[in-house]
């Protein structure tokens, strides 16, 4: 039986259609994709090419002619008043110049020029958001129905879920909106919300989201809106559907501006551009920014701006001829796992890492991807030899998203965390309730020493330029550096010798005179950078120490409240816990770090090396409001001794000595219930209870005594006030307003709550203004803000 070439391509087309349809179903209906976007695009393009070559093949039901798969049960169906269209795609091709590389864009633009007989038409240019398309219907200004796109004709009624998305206005702002208005756009999940969700899921041993798009889609398809509400979603508007009883502007860009006025978020990246060159310039600009954007995009969209031109261009099979999506290279790719290794971090955490067959992901070659922790490996069931989907988005470390079990070779084995550290051989241990296994070797583990050094030298820490990974390896391996303090003892000769040994070990070329000079210059620069790092700030230094759970913001809190390293390194956990955003775990970690002699010695050596802080000061006077004996007694958690009782005792006996000297009888006379007094007496009789309390009380006394007596001038007139900025201010930028308010002691928050002191509403203020009104929080205008700033600035 011989096969004609005709049946060959027929069979191939059928195969591709099935693949695409299955992928559509998994992606659009089940929200559980099976192949990568890149694989999908490839199949689609191959099928399109086949159908172009053999038009008789192109059945009306081909996936190339369809927007998406049909919605599945669970939600009521919604017929869209106007169909929700799809966009044709343009990809980057091979070629030497822009017109070749972006031929599809050039053809799109030329077709418009020719059809409309216009030179360099104006386009609305927008990011192509990677979320879920939805349609929002407003009647008389009220949100009445929200639907998914579904197959473009019929979607699912997800009104209840969309109501939980805060970016979606429940009522339109402003006026002059049409009686019926359908706004379309994309529901997305921001990177930070996606990361936070997955972090929580991982910690709880639950299923993680493969990517933010799945996060948005999966959340909207929850039958229980309460679940949707807990997953933070965002929304950007980019199109209009049905409009009745009113007028819209004559161009898309003006419509978007109007939508913004009516309370819809529109991506801040939206702009206009002229002609082919303008389009490509925008593509490049957004492409360069892609990794820094707070959400995923998979390309940019060009839309002919004026509606008259749009009408004249019309549609071809469900996609407009006046718009096109210009796609970026995909952020997900498939590759195979060659090994699973363990990386030991600065705090000893053992992170499984997949070594991959090199693959290009979004323009970068990826050879490693994180597997996060042992639970994640078990959940994904990643094995050596597996074909996996890797994803790289933004600055985030590439990660393994999913395994493709159908491609698993025979005889693979499930992976298990090794029992010992691959670097130092110490046992790997896991604490109760923790996801991470840790190497128990501490600083005897070279891996931890190296990570600690790299962290210490990092830009946001001590900022020592030139301490790259390779030199840290050599510094530690050859024994030049055991702790960060050793860095400050190294001489020019040490560096040169170390470099020679490193080159030798790596088999790098032998030394010539010229190279000798280069090496000397390198070492001199390094010494200079180390020297320069001695002048630093207290938060940087604290962050650089690499204390577990101490990020930059906690370091700033410590410095702002306690003022000096001398205080911070002496404070017990009980005292640290009164600082804002310092919980028991963080407090224990800081106190635990400084409780170790070795760490205190390293700090002493660093100070002896000449490290100085420009910003050391005394402890904050605000501590007086947060810290007294009542607080210490509260933290001691004595049975039956509630906050009222501790308050009473602290007011009557302000120091621990006075409290002890008074004794049970006097406490009762002072008004303490006798049961509480008995319990307290018994509690204080135990040396194991009394000692930490004495220590805490002594530390508290020392800390409070170090605060200078209140001066007549008040430096922070807005102390204790929380301000929220919303909308656009005309005479100063939001950042500037924030800086100036903070300089006066106010806290500037991102969202409105009952605790908000006042909201400053500029032009086009949105949901935060609504929230303020709902909660009865004071709303100020720009003039009031300026008057306030004028009153306090420079005058304090
Ligand atoms: S406009 C007639 N604008 O891309 C044009 N779509 O392939 C209708 N998308 O379903 C869509 N960002 O999910 C438009 N700025 C943007 C977009 C965008 C993302 C998605 C949307 C749509 C798909 C079309």
pLDDT digit string, tens, across residues 56-69: 766 655 666 543 33
pLDDT higher than threshold 80 for residue 508: no
**Residues annotated as catalytic (active site), given as ranges:** 128
For the chain, give the mean pLDDT.
88
The whole-number pLDDT of residue 68 equals 31
- Best probe residue, ligand 1, of 108, 128, 132 (max atoms within 8 Å of C-beta): 128
320 lines ligand 1 (CB under 6 A): yes
Distance of CA 605 to the CA centre of its chain: 36
Could you tell me whether strands 399-403 and 387-391 are parallel, antiparallel, or unpaired per DSSP bridges? antiparallel
Question: Where on the phi/psi map is residue 477: left (φ > 0), alpha (ψ -120 to 50), or beta?
Answer: alpha
How far, in Å, is the centroid of ligand 1 from the Cα of 86? 7
Does 208 contact ligand 1 (Cβ within 6 A)?
Answer: no
Give all domains of the chain, ordered by start, each with its CATH number: 5-66 (1.10.287.610), 103-107+116-162+173-327 (3.30.470.30), 332-438 (2.40.50.140), 442-533 (1.10.150.20), 536-617 (1.10.150.20), 623-705 (1.10.150.20), 722-795 (3.40.50.10190)
| Alpha-carbon gap, residue 71 to 62, rounded angstroms | 18
User: Quick one: which H or E segment has residue 778?
Assistant: strand 778-780
Distance, in Å, from the CA atom of 583 to the CA atom of 578, rounded to the nearest integer, reads 8
For 313, the token pair is: 């261009």
The rounded Å distance from CA 716 to ligand 1 centre is 49
- Distance, CA of 297 to CA of 300 (rounded, Å): 8
User: Do residues 760 and 785 touch, judged by C-beta distance below 8 A?
Assistant: yes
Whether residue 105 is predicted with pLDDT greater than 70 in this model: the reply is yes
DSSP 2: P
pLDDT tens digits, residue range 444-459?
A: 899 999 999 999 999 9
Residues placed in the known binding site for NAD(+): 37-41, 86-87, 126, 149, 186, 303, 327
Whole-number Å distance between alpha carbons of 61 and 628: 75
pLDDT band at 25 (very low <50, low <70, confident <90, very high): low
Q: Which residue numbers belong to the known binding site?
A: 37-41, 86-87, 126, 149, 186, 303, 327, 421, 424, 445
Query: In whole angstroms, what is the distance from residue 746 CA to residue 725 CA?
Result: 12
State if residue 323 touches ligand 1 by the CB under 6 angstroms criterion: yes
Most confidently predicted of 1-15, 503-517, 765-779: 765-779
Task: Give the number of other CB atoms < 10 A from CB of residue 111.
Answer: 14
126 Cα nearest atom in ligand 1: 15
Per-residue buried b or exposed e for 188-204, using 16+ beta carbons within 10 Å of the residue's own CB = bbbbebbeebbeeebee
Mean pLDDT of 2-25: 75
Burial class (CB in 10 A: 0-12, 13-18, 19+), 622: middle
- CA-based torsion, 186, 192, 198, 200: positive or negative: negative
Q: Which of 380, 389, 414, 386 lies closest to 332 in space, CA to CA? A: 389
**Among 133, 149, 216, residue to substitute to test ligand 1 (most atoms within 8 Å of Cβ):** 133
Alpha carbon nearest to ligand 1 atom 9, residue: 128
Residue 358 near residue 375, CB atoms below 8 Å:
no
Cα 789–chain centre separation: 33
Q: Which atom of ligand 1 is nearest to the CA of 149?
A: 10
**Would you say the CB of residue 371 lies under 6 angstroms from ligand 1?**
no
Give the end-to-end CA distance of the chain in Å, rounded to a whole number. 96
Q: Which residues share a beta bridge with 402?
A: 389
- Number of C-beta neighbours around residue 130 at 10 A: 21
Q: Which contiguous run of DSSP H or E holds residue 146? A: strand 142-148
The 10s digit of each residue's pLDDT in 263-318 is 888 998 999 999 999 999 999 999 999 988 989 999 999 999 999 999 999 998 88
- For strands 271-274 and 437-439, give the pairing: unpaired
Confidence check: pLDDT of 713 > 70: no
301 lines ligand 1 (CB under 6 A): yes
The per-residue pLDDT for range 314-361, each reduced to its tens digit, is 998 889 999 999 999 888 999 999 999 999 998 899 999 999 999 999
The predicted structure's pLDDT at residue 6: 60
Separation of alpha carbons 739 and 757, rounded Å: 17
> Model confidence at 2, in pLDDT bands (50, 70, 90)?
very low
From the CB of 252, is ligand 1 less than 6 Å away?
A: no
Reference 542, options 531, 529, 552; nearest CA is: 552
For the segment 27-33, the average pLDDT, to the nearest whole number, is 55
User: Token pair for residue 588?
Assistant: 């224990």
Burial of 743 (C-beta count, 10 Å sphere; 0-12/13-18/19+):
middle
């Amino acid at each position: 039986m011989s096969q004609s070439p005709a049946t060959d391509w027929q069979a191939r087309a059928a195969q591709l259609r099935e693949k695409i349809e299955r992928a559509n179903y998994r992606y659009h209906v089940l929200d559980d994709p099976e192949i990568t976007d890149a694989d999908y695009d490839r199949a689609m393009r191959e099928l399109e090419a086949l159908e172009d070559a053999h038009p008789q093949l192109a059945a009306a039901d081909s996936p190339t002619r369809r927007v998406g798969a049909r919605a599945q049960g669970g939600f009521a169906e919604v017929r869209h008043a106007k169909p929700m269209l799809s966009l044709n795609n343009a990809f980057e091709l091979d070629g030497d110049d822009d017109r070749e590389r972006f031929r599809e864009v050039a053809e799109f633009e030329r077709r418009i020029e020719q059809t409309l007989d216009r030179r360099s038409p104006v386009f609305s240019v927008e990011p192509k958001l990677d979320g879920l398309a939805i349609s929002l219907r407003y009647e008389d200004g009220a949100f009445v129905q929200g639907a998914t796109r579904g197959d473009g004709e019929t979607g699912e009624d997800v009104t209840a879920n969309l109501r939980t998305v805060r970016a979606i206005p429940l009522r339109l702002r402003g006026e002059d909106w049409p009686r019926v208005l359908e706004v379309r756009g994309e529901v997305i999940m921001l990177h930070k919300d996606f990361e936070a969700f997955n972090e929580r899921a991982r910690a709880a041993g639950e299923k993680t989201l493969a990517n933010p798009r799945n996060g948005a889609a999966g959340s909207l398809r929850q039958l229980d809106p309460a679940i949707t509400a807990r997953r933070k979603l965002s929304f950007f508007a980019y199109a209009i559907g049905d409009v009745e009883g009113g007028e819209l502007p004559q161009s898309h860009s003006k419509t978007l501006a109007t939508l913004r006025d009516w309370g819809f978020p529109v991506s801040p990246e939206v702009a206009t551009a002229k002609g082919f060159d303008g389009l490509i310039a925008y593509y490049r600009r957004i492409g360069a920014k892609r990794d820094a954007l707070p959400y995923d995009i998979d390309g940019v969209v060009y839309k002919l701006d004026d509606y008259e031109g749009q009408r004249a261009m019309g549609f071809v099979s469900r996609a407009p001829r006046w718009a096109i999506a210009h796609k970026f290279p995909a952020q997900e790719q498939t590759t195979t796992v060659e090994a699973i290794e363990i990386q030991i971090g600065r705090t000893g955490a053992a992170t499984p890492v997949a070594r991959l067959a090199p693959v290009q992901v979004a323009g970068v070659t990826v050879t490693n991807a994180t597997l996060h922790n042992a639970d994640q490996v078990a959940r994904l069931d990643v094995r050596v030899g597996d074909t996996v989907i890797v994803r790289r988005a933004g600055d985030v470390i590439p990660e393994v998203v999913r395994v493709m079990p159908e491609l698993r070779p025979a005889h693979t084995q499930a992976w298990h965390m090794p029992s010992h550290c691959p670097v130092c051989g110490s046992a790997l241990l896991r604490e109760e309730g923790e996801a991470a296994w840790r190497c128990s070797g501490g600083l005897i583990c070279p891996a931890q020493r190296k990570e600690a050094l790299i962290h210490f030298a990092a830009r946001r820490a001590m900022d020592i330029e030139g301490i790259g990974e390779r030199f840290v390896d050599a510094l530690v391996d050859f024994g030049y550096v055991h702790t960060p303090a050793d860095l400050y003892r190294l001489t020019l000769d040490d560096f040169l010798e170390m470099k020679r040994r490193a080159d030798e070990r790596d088999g790098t070329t032998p030394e010539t005179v010229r190279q000798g000079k280069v090496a000397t210059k390198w070492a001199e620069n390094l010494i200079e950078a180390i020297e320069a790092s001695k002048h630093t700030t207290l938060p940087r230094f604290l962050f650089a120490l690499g204390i577990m759970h101490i990020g930059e913001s906690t370091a700033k809190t410590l410095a702002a409240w306690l003022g000096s390293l001398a205080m911070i390194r002496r404070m017990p956990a009980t005292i640290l816990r009164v600082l804002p955003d310092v919980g028991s775990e963080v407090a224990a970690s800081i106190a635990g770090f400084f409780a170790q002699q070795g760490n205190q010695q390293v700090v002493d050596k660093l100070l002896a090396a000449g490290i100085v802080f420009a910003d050391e000061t005394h402890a904050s006077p605000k501590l007086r409001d947060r810290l007294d004996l009542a607080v210490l007694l509260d933290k001691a958690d004595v049975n039956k001794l509630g906050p009222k009782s501790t308050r009473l005792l602290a007011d009557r006996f302000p120091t621990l000595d006075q409290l002890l000297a008074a004794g049970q009888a006097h406490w009762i006379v002072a008004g303490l219930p006798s049961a509480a007094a008995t319990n307290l007496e018994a509690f204080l009789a135990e040396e194991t209870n009394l000692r930490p309390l004495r220590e805490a009380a002594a530390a508290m006394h020392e800390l409070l005594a170090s605060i200078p007596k209140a001066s007549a001038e008040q430096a922070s007139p807005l102390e204790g006030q929380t301000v929220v900025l919303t909308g656009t201010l005309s005479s100063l930028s939001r950042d500037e307003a924030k800086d100036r308010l903070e300089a006066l002691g106010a806290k500037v928050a991102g969202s409105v709550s009952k605790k908000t002191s006042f909201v400053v509403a500029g032009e086009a203020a949105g949901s935060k203004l609504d929230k303020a009104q709902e909660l009865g929080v004071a709303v100020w205008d720009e003039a009031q803000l300026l008057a306030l700033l004028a009153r306090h600035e420079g005058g304090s």
